[in-house]
A = this chain, B = another copy of it.
Amino acid sequence: MRSLEDLEGSGAETVSSEELAIRGQTTAAQVRKDLSHFGSFGKRGLGYNVDELRHRLRHILGVDRVWKVALIGAGRIGSALFEYPAFESRGYECVAIIDSDPEKIGSRWSSLEIHAPDDLESLLGSLGVELVILAVPARVAQEMADRAVNAGIQGILNFAPIRLKVPVHVPVEDVNLVMQLEALSFAVTQRGPDL
């Protein structure tokens, strides 16, 4: 089993399912089954070509291109996300920011102006926004989601602690930090009264 450095260096061209399994905390059989789901691009006796594997996976995941993202809600969560360097480096380009706070409207976050929600549809539509990060209070989340969907967006990363009602063709990914904390409380509690 080689180390990470070996893999990243110019030496290794190939990885085995066994090796991938260890990194991904699964089993070799699982890795092979999963990959075979998308075609068979491994070489028997050798393993998977690293470059090809990366290329294929990036394509399957849809991360081999830049996605146009709009940030709806410029509060603390929105700002944390906006500043998070990984987003841009991973291919998510924020092209619009929307907030209803009159204090914020018109101001800029590094050259990007914050817009009022009024012209949300035309703004998202004209910019060709594909994904929306919804970081607004729960009471307005459904309305903003509806309007974003009307504007033709294709997916929503939802931080509001409600179950959004959207058409089936619009995937929603929920981020619910309270639920995750509760999952942690549950795990700690289950693990037995201490230790």
Query: Which A residues are closer than 8 A to B by beta carbons?
Result: 25, 60-63, 67, 75-77, 79-81, 83-84, 86-87, 90, 92, 130-131, 154-157, 161, 163, 169, 171, 173, 175, 177-178, 180-191, 194-195
Bound Cα distance A113, B149 (Å): 43
In the bound complex, do residue B25 and residue A186 qualify as a contact, i.e. CB atoms below 8 Å apart?
no
In the bound complex, do residue B181 and residue A87 qualify as a contact, i.e. CB atoms below 8 Å apart?
yes
- Residue in B closest to A194 when the chains form the complex, CB atoms: B154
Given contacts A76-B76, A80-B80, contact A171 B155 (CB under 8 A): no
- Residue in B closest to A154 when the chains form the complex, CB atoms: B188
Name the distance in Å between A172's Cβ and chain B's nearest Cβ. Answer: 8
In the bound complex, do residue B60 and residue A186 qualify as a contact, i.e. CB atoms below 8 Å apart?
yes
In the bound complex, do residue B161 and residue A86 qualify as a contact, i.e. CB atoms below 8 Å apart?
yes
In the bound complex, do residue A181 and residue B173 qualify as a contact, i.e. CB atoms below 8 Å apart?
yes
Name the distance in Å between A155's Cβ and chain B's nearest Cβ. Answer: 4
Name the distance in Å between A104's Cβ and chain B's nearest Cβ. Answer: 16
- Residue in B closest to A190 when the chains form the complex, CB atoms: B62
Output the residue of A67, A155, A157, A194 with the most chain B CB within 10 A: A155
